[in-house]
A and B are shown apart, each in its own frame.
Chain A
Amino acid sequence: MKIVSLEERGFTVELKAKLGKEIILFDGAMGTVLQQRGLKAGDVPEKLNIENSKEIIDIHKSYLKAGAEIITTNTFGANALKMQEIKYSVEEIITAGVENARQAVIELGVDAAVALDMGPLGELLEPMGSLTFDEAYDLYQQQVLVGVEYGADLIHIETISDLYEARAAVLAAKENSNLPVFCTLTFEEDGRTFTGGSIRSMISVLEGLGVDGIGLNCSLGPEKLEPLVEEVLEYSEKPVILQANAGLPIVEDGETVFKISPEDYFKPLARLYEKGLAVVGGCCGTNEEFISLIADNLKNKKVKERNVINESLVCSPSQYVNLAGVNVVGERINPTGKAAFKQALRNDDLDYILKVAVEEVDAGADILDVNLGLPEIEEKEMMVKIIKELQGILDTPLQIDSSDPEVIEEALKYYNGIAIVNSVNGEIEVLENTFPAVKKYGAAVIGLTMDDDGIPDTAAGRFEIAKRIVKKAAEYGISRDKIIIDCLTLTASAQQEGVKETLKALKMVKNELGVKTTLGVSNVSFGLPARPVLNRTFLSMALYQGLNLPIIDPNDEEMMAAVKAAAVLNNIDQGATEYIKYMAEVETNSAKTENSQEKNKSHDLKTVIVKGLKSEAANLTEEILKEKEALEVVNSYLIPALDIVGNRYEKGEIFLPQLVQSAETVKEAFAILKQDMASKGGRDISKGTIVMATVKGDVHDIGKNIVKTVLENYGYQIIDLGRNVNIKEVVQAVKENQIKLLGLSALMTTTVKNMEKTINAVREISPTTKIMVGGAVLTADYAKMIEADYYARDAREAVEIARKIFTD
C-alpha cells in the first residue's frame, strides 16, 4: 500500500475531521458541461485534460467559486480499457487530471480537496460479462496508484451499477492507498441497480469493506432519489452522500437538456439535510449555479443526528437475510459421507453441485453452507470456482465452510456480498488467523464453543469460550452483531446429559452476549432408532431457546415444517402467513409427485426417453436395475431409444428441443447407472473423456451445452470448462487428463481469434490431441483456416467425430 502523509494532502485531514459532522460540498457535473461547451457525442472527455487543460481548469474553478470543498478530477473513464481508444495512457490522463484540479485550487487559493474520480469500467463483469473480478481490480488499481502518486486527496468511486464492480474498486482503493474512499452507486426508481442490486445490500457490502462515505449518484433527479436516500439514511452508519442529476434528461431539438431549476433541485436536498445527509453535490445536468445555491443554504452547517437501524445482515447483491430471525442454512453442499458428491468434486462436475444448491433453494433454504473439503482436491481453487458459479445463477447468501484461513480469505474476496464464515473455535491462534479476513470483508462468523481442550461438558464452560471469541473479535473491530455462536450438538446416545447443556449454553450466549446462534441439528440422534423424531424434537427445543440458524437438510420436509411451526408459536411469523404459504406449497408438490408416480406405471423406460419425460427416468432406471445389469440397460433401453429419437429428428418428425429433451432424459438414467456401477466397483462405462469449452470472450453457452448433453448420452465423459474460458485453463485440462479430443465453441467473429489462439496453445503442449470446433459463426472453411481438425455442425456430427477418435 502506498502510505501518504495525509497532513501533506492539502485539505484531507480537515476533511476527515469534518466528515459526518458538518456538511461537505462536492462539485457538479463535468461531462454534461463539456458537452454544452461543444464536446461531440461519443468523444472521450478525459483527453481534454491534456488537449484543453484550460477549459477543465475553468470548470473546476467555477465550482470552487460556487463553494465546492471537493472537486473531482476529469478521470471518470480513465481506465486502461476505455483509454485504449485514445492516444494517451492512463498515467498521462490521470496525472493531467489531478494537476488540473490542483491548479484550480492553487489559482484561487481556497481550501479544497481533489478527489480522484473513478467511474465504471464500461464492460460488464463476470458472470454477466467476460471481464473477471481480478481484471477489474487491476484496472482500478492502476488508477489508484497513479492518483495517489500525483497527489489526490481522496478517492471517489461513482456511478457504479454492479456491486461486484464496486467491490473491486473499493478493494483496489483500500489496498493501495490510505486515502479516504467514497463510493456511490446508481439506482433506478424501483430501488434496484441495472444488475439487480438493492440498497440494503449496497450498505452492508460497502460498510463491510470500510468505505468512508456511501450514497447514490446519477440516474434521476433528487426528488425521485429522495426515498432511496432516506433508506440509506435509515440503515447506514456511514456519512451519506448524494449527487443527483438535474432531473431526467429531455431531448429538445436534438439537444439533451435538463429541465429542473436550481431552486427545485434544492428542495428535496433541504429535506434530506434535515434527515442527516452529510455530503452533497451534483451529477449530470448540474452546473455551478446548483452548487452555489446549495452552498448558500447548507455550507458548514452541522449534519443532523439520526437514528440508524442496526441490523445483522448477510446478503447477495439482490437478496438479504436478517440474522435476527430464524433462517435455515442448507447443509447439502458437503462431500462428507456422500460418494456421488465426492465423485463430482473429483471430476470437476460443477453442474452436479449447482443442482444440489438449486434443490436446497427450492426446498426453502435461506442461506447455503458451502463445504468442499476433500483431501485430494485443491480446496481453495474449487471454492472460488463454486462461489463464482453459485452467485452466477442464485441470489441466496452463502456460508463459507472451511477450516483453512487461506480458503476463507480467498472465498470472501470473490464472494459478491456478505457471507458467513463457518467457522472459528476458541483457540487463540485460529482466531488470530481468521479474524483479519472476516473484518476486512465485513463477513459474519460462526464461533464454535470448543478449543484445544475439546468441548467443555458444562454450559458455563462453553459460555466462557464464547465470551473469549467475542472479546477477541472486538479487538479486531468485529462487532457482536456479526458473531454467531455454535454451542455444539452432542449425541444423545453417547452423551445424553450433554444435550441439555448445549441448550442451556445457547440461551446463555444469546441473552448475555447478545450474539446470534447456530446449531447443526442431526448429530443429536446418531445411534438411536427413529432419528427424524429426535431431530425434530431437538430442533423445536433449540428454537424455543432462541436458535437463529439451524443447519439442516432443507429437503427434509418435516424439519422445515418444524422451523415454520416454531416461528408461528414463538410469535415471529405474524398471522402465520409464512407457515400457511409453506404448507400450501408442500401440498402442491406432493400432489405433483403422486401424479408422476401414477404415470410411471404405464410407461417403460424407452417410451419415457422418446417422450423426454425427464423426471421419470431416474425412478424407472432404478426399478429396472433391480433385475438387470447396468450394461444391459444401456444396450436394450438407452441405445434403442436414442436411435428412435435420432431417426425421428433426421426425418423432421421431431425438432431440436425434443431431441435435447430426450438427451437430458437419458442423462438422468445414465447418472443412476453410473452410481450403480461405482457402488458395485464395476468397470467405468465411459467410452472416453472429452474436454469442452466456450472460448474466452463468449458468454453464450447453450450450443455447447446441447453438444455436451448428447455426447454424454453416447457414453463419453465430458470435462466441461464452461464459458469465457482462459486459454491457460484449456491447456491445463488437456494436459492433466491426457485428452484425445477437445471441443471448442465460439459464437462471434471477434472471439474466433481466441479459438485460434487456444488451438495453437494446445498444439504446443499436446500435438496429438484432436480438436473439433463449432458455434454460430463457424464454417468448415473457417475451421480449416484456424487449423482445427474437425468442424462439427451440430451435436450429431460431434458424436460421429468422437466415435472416430475413440475407436481408432
Chain B
Amino acid sequence: MEFKIDRKEVLRYLQTAKDIEDKNINRLLAESISEIKELINFRYLYHKFPIEHTKEGVKIKNTTLTLKGRSIKKHLQNSAEIYLMAATLGAQVDKKISFYEKISVTKSMIFDACATTAIEEGCDRVEAEIKEKALKEGNDDITFRYSPGYGDLGIDIQKEFLRILKAPKKIGLTASSYNMLLPTKSVTAIIGVIDKKTAAEEHSIKQEQKIENSKDRDLEFEKRHCKNCLLYEDCELRRKGIYCGAKG
C-alpha cells in the first residue's frame, strides 16, 4: 500500500498553523514524510462477526468477547453484524521514533506526527475496503471505527480482541500488560454494519449528529462529556469533530 501522508494532517497533529513558515520545520517535515514511507510495513486484518444485543452488552457471536458499556451499545444499535479490525505500521517505525528521541526531540515530534497520520490514513483505507464489502453484500452503510478505550468501552479488552483476530501471529500486533498496543502506531477498532432495514433510523440519528457537529464542533457537548473523558487530549474523533457517543 502506497502512503500519501498529508502534510496538512501532520501539521494538525502538531497543532501548528496550516501554513507554518518555519524553514527548518518544513524541511524536517519533508524529510520525515519521505523517510517514514520507507519504513512503514503496513499490516492489517479484519473479520466479520454476527452480534447479539444482550443485557450484559453486545455479545460477539462465535467468540468469547462481550462489549460492555453504553457508548458501544449505542454505536452498534443498528447493527446485527460487526467487523473487528486491527492494523499496524510495524516495529521499524517505533524504532525510528526512539532513534530520533535520542538525536532530536523536534524531529521525533514531527516523525511521530507523521506516523500518526500514516496509521490513520491506513485505517481510512481499511475502513473503505470494509465499507465496499458491506455495500456489496447489500447493506446500507457502516458506522465509523470505534476503538477500545473510547467512551466507556474498556481498554482492558485489548488482548482478547487481538487474540480473536490472531493479530499477534498474523500481523505482529500485541498489547502490553497495560493494554498499550505494540508496535505503538497501531489501531484496533469495531465497525458496525448497518443494513437496509435500520438504515432509515440511522439516517435520522446521523442528521442529529450532523447538527451537533455542524457548529464547528459542538462546544457545549464537549464541555459536558468529552472533557470528562480520559482520552480528551488525544482523541482523534474529537479532532475530526465526531462525538463517540459516551455521556461522560
Contact residues of A with B, CB < 8 Å? 40-43, 81, 85, 120, 122-124, 127-131, 159, 161, 186, 193-196, 218, 249, 251, 254, 256, 351, 354-355, 358, 389, 392-394, 611-614, 654-658, 660-661, 663-664, 697-702, 705-706, 709, 748-751, 776-777
Q: Are B25 and A161 in contact (CB under 8 A)?
A: no
Pairs of residues from A and B, 6 with the lowest C-beta to C-beta distance, nearest first: A194-B172, A655-B16, A42-B164, A750-B178, A697-B178, A42-B64
Count of residues in B whose CB is under 8 Å from the partner chain:
64
Closest Cβ of chain A to B60, distance in Å, is 8
Closest Cβ of chain B to A437, distance in Å, is 28
Q: Are B25 and A658 in contact (CB under 8 A)?
A: yes
Q: Are B98 and A392 in contact (CB under 8 A)?
A: yes
Q: Are B176 and A128 in contact (CB under 8 A)?
A: no
Q: Are B109 and A748 in contact (CB under 8 A)?
A: no
8 example contacts (A-B, Cβ-Cβ < 8 A) are as follows A41-B47, A42-B160, A131-B177, A194-B43, A196-B91, A251-B48, A254-B50, A664-B106
Closest Cβ of chain B to A97, distance in Å, is 19
Partner of A159, one of B95, B169, B183, B231: B169
Q: Are B25 and A661 in contact (CB under 8 A)?
A: yes
Q: Are A655 and B17 in contact (CB under 8 A)?
A: yes
A394 contacts which chain B residues (CB < 8 A)? 99
**Known A41-B63, A124-B183, A196-B92; 14 more pairs at CB < 8 Å:** A41-B165, A43-B64, A123-B176, A123-B177, A124-B176, A127-B95, A128-B95, A194-B171, A254-B47, A612-B24, A614-B104, A657-B110, A705-B101, A751-B180
Q: Are B47 and A251 in contact (CB under 8 A)?
A: yes
> How far is it, in angstroms, between the C-alpha of A115 and the C-alpha of B170 when the chains are bound?
24
Q: Does B143 contact A (CB under 8 A)?
A: no
A751 contacts which chain B residues (CB < 8 A)? 178, 180
Partner of B24, one of A159, A194, A613, A697: A613
Closest Cβ of chain A to B177, distance in Å, is 7
B184 contacts which chain A residues (CB < 8 A)? 699-700
Q: Does B155 contact A (CB under 8 A)?
A: yes
> How far is it, in angstroms, between the C-alpha of A547 and the C-alpha of B99 when the chains are bound?
32
Q: Does B30 contact A (CB under 8 A)?
A: no
Q: Are B109 and A657 in contact (CB under 8 A)?
A: yes
Q: Are B14 and A656 in contact (CB under 8 A)?
A: yes
B43 contacts which chain A residues (CB < 8 A)? 194
B183 contacts which chain A residues (CB < 8 A)? 124, 128
The chain A residue sitting closest to B25, CB to CB, is A657
B residues 67-101 near A (Cβ < 8 Å) are 90-92, 94-95, 97-99, 101
Q: Does B102 contact A (CB under 8 A)?
A: yes
Q: Are B177 and A611 in contact (CB under 8 A)?
A: no
Contact residues of B with A, CB < 8 Å? 14-17, 20, 22, 24-25, 28, 41, 43, 47-50, 62-65, 90-92, 94-95, 97-99, 101-106, 108-110, 112, 155-156, 159-161, 163-165, 168-172, 174-180, 182-184, 230-231, 233-234
Given A127-B98, A664-B106: A657 and B155 interface contact (C-beta under 8 Å)? no
The chain A residue sitting closest to B94, CB to CB, is A128
A654 contacts which chain B residues (CB < 8 A)? 22
Q: Are B176 and A131 in contact (CB under 8 A)?
A: yes
Q: Are B112 and A702 in contact (CB under 8 A)?
A: yes
The chain B residue sitting closest to A38, CB to CB, is B62
B98 contacts which chain A residues (CB < 8 A)? 127, 392-393, 701
Q: Are B105 and A660 in contact (CB under 8 A)?
A: yes
Closest Cβ of chain B to A589, distance in Å, is 16
B176 contacts which chain A residues (CB < 8 A)? 123-124, 129-131, 697, 699
Q: Are B230 and A777 in contact (CB under 8 A)?
A: yes
Q: Are B102 and A351 in contact (CB under 8 A)?
A: yes
Closest Cβ of chain A to B107, distance in Å, is 9
> How far is it, in angstroms, between the C-alpha of A358 and the C-alpha of B156 when the chains are bound?
38
Q: Are A355 and B178 in contact (CB under 8 A)?
A: no
A193 contacts which chain B residues (CB < 8 A)? 172
Closest Cβ of chain A to B6, distance in Å, is 17
Q: Are A750 and B90 in contact (CB under 8 A)?
A: no
Given A656-B16, A748-B180: A41 and B172 interface contact (C-beta under 8 Å)? no
> How far is it, in angstroms, between the C-alpha of A81 and the C-alpha of B174 when the chains are bound?
13
Q: Are B178 and A748 in contact (CB under 8 A)?
A: yes
Q: Are A123 and B175 in contact (CB under 8 A)?
A: yes
A699 contacts which chain B residues (CB < 8 A)? 176, 180, 182, 184
Closest Cβ of chain A to B2, distance in Å, is 17
Q: Are B163 and A81 in contact (CB under 8 A)?
A: no
Closest Cβ of chain A to B194, distance in Å, is 18
| Listed residue (B95, B112, B164, B234) with the most chain A CB atoms within 10 angstroms of its CB | B95
> How far is it, in angstroms, between the C-alpha of A124 and the C-alpha of B108 when the chains are bound?
22
Q: Are B234 and A40 in contact (CB under 8 A)?
A: no
Q: Are B24 and A611 in contact (CB under 8 A)?
A: yes
A655 contacts which chain B residues (CB < 8 A)? 14-17, 20
B95 contacts which chain A residues (CB < 8 A)? 127-128, 196, 392-393
Q: Are B106 and A660 in contact (CB under 8 A)?
A: yes
Q: Are B102 and A749 in contact (CB under 8 A)?
A: no
The chain A residue sitting closest to B46, CB to CB, is A251
> How far is it, in angstroms, between the C-alpha of A263 and the C-alpha of B48 when the chains are bound?
31
> How far is it, in angstroms, between the C-alpha of A461 and the C-alpha of B47 when the chains are bound?
71
Q: Are B109 and A702 in contact (CB under 8 A)?
A: yes
A701 contacts which chain B residues (CB < 8 A)? 98, 101
Partner of A697, one of B105, B168, B180: B180
B231 contacts which chain A residues (CB < 8 A)? 777
B170 contacts which chain A residues (CB < 8 A)? 249
> How far is it, in angstroms, between the C-alpha of A663 and the C-alpha of B104 when the chains are bound?
11
The chain A residue sitting closest to B173, CB to CB, is A194
Closest Cβ of chain B to A388, distance in Å, is 12
Q: Are B172 and A161 in contact (CB under 8 A)?
A: yes
The chain B residue sitting closest to A662, CB to CB, is B106
Q: Are A355 and B103 in contact (CB under 8 A)?
A: yes
Q: Are A709 and B105 in contact (CB under 8 A)?
A: yes
A612 contacts which chain B residues (CB < 8 A)? 22, 24-25, 106
B104 contacts which chain A residues (CB < 8 A)? 614, 664
A85 contacts which chain B residues (CB < 8 A)? 159-160
Q: Are A697 and B17 in contact (CB under 8 A)?
A: no
A124 contacts which chain B residues (CB < 8 A)? 91, 174, 176, 182-183
> How far is it, in angstroms, between the C-alpha of A182 and the C-alpha of B176 when the chains are bound?
27
Closest Cβ of chain A to B103, distance in Å, is 6
> How far is it, in angstroms, between the C-alpha of A750 and the C-alpha of B170 when the chains are bound?
26
Q: Are B108 and A705 in contact (CB under 8 A)?
A: yes
> How far is it, in angstroms, between the C-alpha of A120 and the C-alpha of B176 when the chains are bound?
13
A128 contacts which chain B residues (CB < 8 A)? 91, 94-95, 182-183
